[in-house]
Amino acid sequence: MSIGADPGLVMPMHAPPCRSPRRRLLRRVLSVWLVFHVAAIIIAPAAVAPSSDLIRSAWGLFQPYLEVLYLDHGYHFFAPEPAESTLLAFVAERDDGTTVHGRIPDRATRPRLLYHRYFMLTEHMNDAPEELRSLWHESYAQHIGREYGAARVTLIQQTHNLPTRERVRGGGHLTDPESYEDQPLGTFRCDGY
């Protein structure tokens, strides 16, 4: 396989030979950077757990470069397997006793990209490291309190379990109430509303 001479992708000819020393030096420098760059973009997804000590050490070398350029991604789309969704239900209580009930993401949100932004907020919350969870919940609660002018916000994490094929064939629906599992996250006092 000769990919360097593939006429489908580039002009059908060789790279012209470098006659001037300056151009030759530039090509050498670029080649060194290319080796570094290609290694970096391979190490980024390879370093996602489970990964070896060797790859994790290499990640340490490439980390600044990858993070500055926003190339530090695993590309593990729907992997290791498509999982159940996480939603965030909330009850915002105002000082006058009125309450607002809501849930994100809301399937009525348009455009769809905006819906996905909210969906990512809850999905990332579910994946948050243990030490950041309370700060995460606090941040969302403060925003909801501010949004609805509420003094107290109660958060409930909902896991929407996926039905099996057999269940759907037996008459089950994706919206069946028993497919949702609630996990209270606490009630938060909101100061900034």
Cβ of residue 81: shortest distance to another protein, in angstroms?
3
Cβ of residue 169: shortest distance to another protein, in angstroms?
5
By C-beta, is 26 or 184 nearer to another protein? Answer: 26
Cβ of residue 132: shortest distance to another protein, in angstroms?
6
By C-beta, is 38 or 184 nearer to another protein? Answer: 38
By C-beta, is 99 or 160 nearer to another protein? Answer: 160
What are the angstrom distances between the C-alpha of 24 and each of 11, 95, 176? Answer: 21, 73, 67
Strand partners for 86: 159
Asked if 154 and 106 count as a contact pair (C-beta separation under 8 A), the reply is no
Cβ of residue 102: shortest distance to another protein, in angstroms?
13
By C-beta, is 41 or 91 nearer to another protein? Answer: 41
Burial class of 54 by CB neighbour count within 10 A (0 to 12, 13 to 18, 19+): exposed
